[in-house]
A and B are shown apart, each in its own frame.
Chain A
Amino acid sequence: MTATALPAPRTGVEVGDRAATAGRPPRSENRAGWLFATPFLALYLAFLIGPVVIGLLISLFNTTTVKAGIGSWVGFSNYADVLTNADFWASMWHSALFTLLTTPILVLLPLLFAVLVSRLARGQWFYRLAFFAPYVVPSAAVCLIFAFMYTPETGLITNAFGWFGLTAPDFFGSTSGAWFAVVLLTVWWTFGFNFILYTAAIQEISEEVYEAAALDGAGPWQQIRMITVPILRPTIGLVLILQVLSSLKVFDQIYILLTGGPNYTTRPVIQYIFDTGFSAYRGGYAAAATMVYFVVLVLVSVGWFLVRRRNNSANA
């Protein structure tokens, strides 16, 4: 699923210094430090940093994914090919479009429900269960269930349109129908994650603030608008960037449900890399596409990081 990693600036993450004594550390401690850190460092370098370096390298060669060896040197021509390829840009756009379609819903709707649920005295476990349970369901199982509900004529969702006097779109045959299908599925599936993040943040808010507001005669809606939402602003920012980054990395549900169809009109960029790199064995080319995409993702992260830092220093 959508794993995301981001530094949250302004947090308490600094190197914790028990022994920040000046000068050289004692030799035994130096050795112990490296021994403790080595397993992590080795795996980290090999499998987190390694692929970045290998990707850069491979993108300059005519590598065949399934054949041993690296192929012949081709310079930057893979990049030239990728950057002038319409299918690549179409897939980049599909990933961006998916982000534009899902992010507003997945940032605002869970916020609304987290705020409403937090005001209720009873049954919190039930809401948490209902909203968060889908998060632990594997993508393939989600797709199996939704594919069944999207079946033309007999599917539950197809029929649900009929109950409201509407005609269901062609979920698998038309581009707009396919986007609808994928977005609805994604909202159902990942709604709970953001809901939990908001709920946790709301519980941090001190009860006294509300009591004071109530004494001042603030109604429930005013409390939400004047207290809860402003206090939650950093959380909303965090949820927003996490959502953007994980939506930009969409693959599972579009691939399993639609294989990027109809006619590749929903194919996200990871599937483009999958198709060119693994189905067509064009390793060097797909590595170049990977690096372009990688840079975009890193720029989004760094951009957010800088914005947050500026905001924080302005607030400080």
Chain B
Amino acid sequence: MATAVAAPAADTDRSGTRRSRRGGEPDQSGKLFNRLAATCVTLFALIWLVPFLWALITSLRPNEEIAANPTNPWGSNWNLDAYSYAWNSSPLGWWYVNSFIISSLTVVFTVVVCSMAAFALVNLNFRGKYVLFGLILAGLMVPVEALVLPQFLEFRAIGLLGTYWAVILPSVALPVALFVFHSFIKAIPVALIEAARLDGASWWRIYSQIAMPLSRPAISAVAILTFITSWNAFLWPLLVLTQTKSQTIPVGLSSLVGGSAIQYAETMASAVLGILPLLAVFLVLQRQIAQGVANTGIK
């Protein structure tokens, strides 16, 4: 996930106001400039899609054809054989399941744990609050990925290596996620909470029935980015999930790099299968994902 701190609650979907940034009526030179810009970025965008298309096309071609004609994508013998081979030769199904369980549990825990702490920091007055806040702020500067070695020793001592929990637990208490929630919850009118308090609502009730429903954009931003980050994590799952069938998609796929040099189609089919789930999610939630990155990434 990215970085720093959060957008105001008001910063919701602005799709309705999406406009071009041309400014007024474009004159002749403006039109020319825009046409040039359009050509340029379109060309670039098409180049950006090439690796996807190339992997897809290669995965559909027979290996002999690829070997004979590596850069000519056209052929009449497209088929799905490579996919059934790829699916059967490695436990891709288990890798999917593992990735899915780990990412889902990470999302649930992250959203709950971080939003609760953010709620406490915003709405509750408790001793040591400022110390806690400073501590978490400092945590933003701790490069966790660099600390895999001590982390490994710690998990070995606890005896959790080789379980999903070893992957899930370290990524739950995420300062960035906390601050995203913090800024949303802070934007909730104080009067609302005090009214609920006067009605005798418990803090838990206020949290779960007032604060959370009003923080939906924050929940979706944190959930989406946590899911992507967790799904794509590589080094830590590589270290702690070593059984072939308990690996995640990225770790499993990495063992295929530099493998068989001649099974082009099968290798690309594995890559396509590895990309597919998250890409599908991306295509459906494109706007929310981009918004989520923007929410957590800027300001």
Q: Do A and B bind each other?
A: yes
Q: Confirm or deny: A74 has a beta carbon within 8 angstroms of a beta carbon on chain B.
A: no
Q: Confirm or deny: B4 has a beta carbon within 8 angstroms of a beta carbon on chain A.
A: yes
Q: Size band of the A side of the interface?
A: 35 or more
Q: Confirm or deny: A149 has a beta carbon within 8 angstroms of a beta carbon on chain B.
A: yes
Residues of A within 8 A of B282 (CB): 132-133, 136
Q: Confirm or deny: A11 has a beta carbon within 8 angstroms of a beta carbon on chain B.
A: yes
Residues of B within 8 A of A249 (CB): 143, 145-146
Contact A144 B51 (CB under 8 A): no
Q: Confirm or deny: B164 has a beta carbon within 8 angstroms of a beta carbon on chain A.
A: no
Residues of B within 8 A of A294 (CB): 143, 146-147
Q: Would you give the shortest CB distance from A112 to chain B, in whole angstroms? A: 9
6 A-B residue pairs with Cβ-Cβ distance under 8 Å, sorted by A, are A50-B154, A136-B282, A149-B54, A220-B30, A238-B298, A274-B148
Cβ-defined partner of A54 (8 Å) among B26, B136, B150, B233: B150
Tell me the bound Cα distance from A229 to B243 in angstroms. Answer: 50
Q: Confirm or deny: A156 has a beta carbon within 8 angstroms of a beta carbon on chain B.
A: yes
Cβ-defined partner of B40 (8 Å) among A39, A116, A156: A116
Q: Confirm or deny: A126 has a beta carbon within 8 angstroms of a beta carbon on chain B.
A: yes
Tell me the bound Cα distance from A7 to B299 in angstroms. Answer: 10
Q: Give A residues with C-beta under 8 Å from B.
A: 1, 3-8, 11-13, 15-16, 18-21, 24-26, 29-34, 36-37, 39-44, 46-52, 54-55, 58, 63, 65, 68, 113, 116-121, 123-149, 151, 153-156, 159, 188, 191, 193, 196-197, 199-203, 205, 207, 210-211, 213-215, 219-221, 223, 228, 235, 238, 242, 245, 249, 251-252, 256-257, 270, 273-274, 277-278, 283, 286-287, 290, 293-294, 297-298, 301-302, 305
Q: Size band of the B side of the interface?
A: 35 or more
Q: Confirm or deny: B52 has a beta carbon within 8 angstroms of a beta carbon on chain A.
A: yes
Contact A144 B125 (CB under 8 A): no
A5-B140, A294-B146 given as contacts; is B274 within 8 A of A140 (CB)?
yes
Tell me the bound Cα distance from A151 to B172 in angstroms. Answer: 39
Contact B20 A55 (CB under 8 A): no
Residues of A within 8 A of B256 (CB): 140, 144
A120-B37, A235-B298, A294-B143 given as contacts; is B207 within 8 A of A30 (CB)?
no
Cβ-defined partner of B253 (8 Å) among A20, A140, A245, A277: A140
Q: Would you give the shortest CB distance from B236 to chain A, in whole angstroms? A: 11
Residues of A within 8 A of B246 (CB): none
Q: Give B residues with C-beta under 8 Å from A.
A: 1-6, 8, 14, 18-27, 29-30, 33-34, 37-38, 40-42, 44-46, 48-52, 54-55, 58, 66-67, 70-71, 112-114, 116-117, 119-127, 129-130, 132-133, 135-137, 139-154, 156, 169-170, 172-176, 178-179, 182-183, 185-186, 190, 193-194, 203, 207, 228-229, 231-235, 239, 249-254, 256-258, 264, 267-268, 270-271, 274-275, 278-279, 281-283, 286, 289-291, 293-294, 297-299
Contact B21 A119 (CB under 8 A): yes
Tell me the bound Cα distance from A219 to B248 in angstroms. Answer: 52
Contact A219 B120 (CB under 8 A): no
Residues of B within 8 A of A131 (CB): 45, 48
Contact A141 B275 (CB under 8 A): yes
A16-B122, A33-B120 given as contacts; is B234 within 8 A of A252 (CB)?
yes
Contact A193 B293 (CB under 8 A): yes
Contact B23 A256 (CB under 8 A): no
Residues of B within 8 A of A8 (CB): 3-5, 299
Closest residue of chain A to B185 (Cβ to Cβ) is A16
Closest 7 CB pairs of A and B: A33-B126, A210-B23, A200-B294, A214-B24, A40-B117, A36-B120, A55-B150
Contact A13 B21 (CB under 8 A): no
Contact A3 B250 (CB under 8 A): no
A256-B257, A273-B149 given as contacts; is B170 within 8 A of A47 (CB)?
yes
Contact A207 B41 (CB under 8 A): no
Residues of A within 8 A of B37 (CB): 116-117, 119-120
Residues of B within 8 A of A52 (CB): 142, 147, 150
Closest residue of chain A to B282 (Cβ to Cβ) is A136
Tell me the bound Cα distance from A30 to B148 in angstroms. Answer: 35
A149-B51, A270-B146 given as contacts; is B119 within 8 A of A36 (CB)?
yes
Residues of A within 8 A of B140 (CB): 5-7
A134-B48, A290-B150 given as contacts; is B290 within 8 A of A196 (CB)?
yes
Tell me the bound Cα distance from A3 to B278 in angstroms. Answer: 18
Contact B132 A37 (CB under 8 A): yes
Closest residue of chain A to B193 (Cβ to Cβ) is A18
Cβ-defined partner of B124 (8 Å) among A36, A140, A147, A196: A36
Cβ-defined partner of A40 (8 Å) among B54, B70, B153, B173: B173
Q: Would you give the shortest CB distance from B112 to chain A, in whole angstroms? A: 8
Tell me the bound Cα distance from A136 to B121 in angstroms. Answer: 32
Residues of B within 8 A of A116 (CB): 37, 40-41
Cβ-defined partner of B257 (8 Å) among A36, A144, A153, A200: A144
Contact B141 A283 (CB under 8 A): no
Q: Would you give the shortest CB distance from A306 to chain B, in whole angstroms? A: 12
